[in-house]
């Protein structure tokens, strides 16, 4: 699922989707353990979908605007202990 699709959902819908994906992830793990898993790439897709849903839900709960794709973050300030030369 695309992030744009997730952003169109409510927080409750996102929570339901995460629950559904977690169940699918559980079933995929069992299929892999028993040698019945045919589409191994689905494990990776589901894991990333869960992370995507959780991220969008967290942003909605916090009232944050979604980050633009490819947007750069502000550089972090260096602490004094790392910027001083060691003598």
Contacts by residues 67-74 (CB-CB < 8 Å, ≥ 24 positions apart): none
Q: Of the given ranges (34-38, 40-44, 73-77, 82-86), which has the lowest mean pLDDT?
A: 82-86
Average pLDDT across the chain, whole number: 86
Contact predicate 37/43, CB 8 Å: yes
pLDDT band at 77 (very low <50, low <70, confident <90, very high): confident
The pTM (predicted TM-score) of the whole model is 0.70
Quick one: pLDDT at residue 84? 59
φ/ψ (deg, to 5) at 59: -65, -40
pLDDT band at 47 (very low <50, low <70, confident <90, very high): very high
Contact predicate 57/15, CB 8 Å: yes
CATH of span 3-61: 1.10.287.310
- Note the pLDDT tens digit of each residue in 61-70: 998 876 655 5
CA 9 to chain centroid, in Å, comes to 15
All structural domains of the chain with their residue ranges? 3-61
């Amino acid at each position: 699922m695309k992030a744009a699709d997730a952003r169109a959902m409510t927080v409750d819908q996102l929570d339901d989707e995460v629950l559904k994906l977690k169940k699918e992830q559980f079933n995929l793990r069992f299929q892999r353990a028993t040698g019945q898993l045919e589409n191994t790439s689905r494990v990776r897709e589901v894991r990333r979908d869960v992370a995507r849903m959780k991220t969008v839900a967290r942003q909605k709960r916090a009232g944050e605007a979604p980050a633009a794709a490819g947007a750069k973050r502000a550089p972090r300030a260096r602490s004094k202990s790392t910027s001083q030369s060691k003598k």
